A and B are shown apart, each in its own frame.
Chain A
């Protein structure tokens, strides 16, 4: 079984300060990890993913995430927060399971963390 934990329901940060949104995961095998952002009345929007290679992944809107295998974490970061970054952020994990018909995609999403950037 696979699971994702986002330990903080909400994160508050002042505009211009660095931000971190935490995510830990549990999978059997190698993980593929994703971050999505959801703005009000919109669907989830892909930010970045870790597949393999460099542990620091860069994505959209200046966000990056650091994969830490020993701590099974994939925290989302940004050096300087903007008020427009205020949104709901979801971490997700997937392991490729191959069935006779080919790739089988089942992703597990975290419960989401609300990021509030204060002007």
Chain B
């Protein structure tokens, strides 16, 4: 089990640039989550997918943020244009489906994003 794989691990870019974060969930997991972690706000759920379909994107902060899951093994989170306040650690997590939702989430090691 390779775990959830995120890339890149670190990203430094200038304000206004497009940023794309990538995630490969654990094979066989039906749910995929994108989180953002900052000192000020803690861990925030941005969006999650079930069977590649976005279910709840109410946590996406602005229209500058978008997420896709074109297939069961890949998802992207895009920020365009990026701003300094987007600087944070972004985590991807996945979990398997059960009827009573008692499975834990498995997190990747995150992408540390710095917008200058």
- Which residues of A are in contact with B by a Cβ distance under 8 Å? 32, 34, 36, 41-46, 49, 51, 90, 94-98, 101-107, 109, 111-112
- Which residues of B are in contact with A by a Cβ distance under 8 Å? 4, 31, 42-43, 45, 48, 50, 55-56, 91, 93, 95, 97-110, 112
Determine how close the nearest CB of chain A comes to the CB of B104; give it in whole angstroms: 4
Q: How far is the CA of A44 from the CA of B106 in the complex (A)?
A: 8
Between A and B, 30 residue pairs with Cβ closer than 8 Å are A36-B104, A41-B110, A42-B109, A42-B110, A43-B4, A44-B43, A44-B91, A44-B105, A44-B107, A46-B105, A46-B106, A90-B43, A94-B102, A95-B101, A96-B102, A102-B50, A103-B97, A103-B99, A103-B101, A104-B101, A105-B48, A105-B95, A105-B101, A105-B103, A106-B45, A106-B56, A107-B45, A107-B105, A109-B42, A111-B42
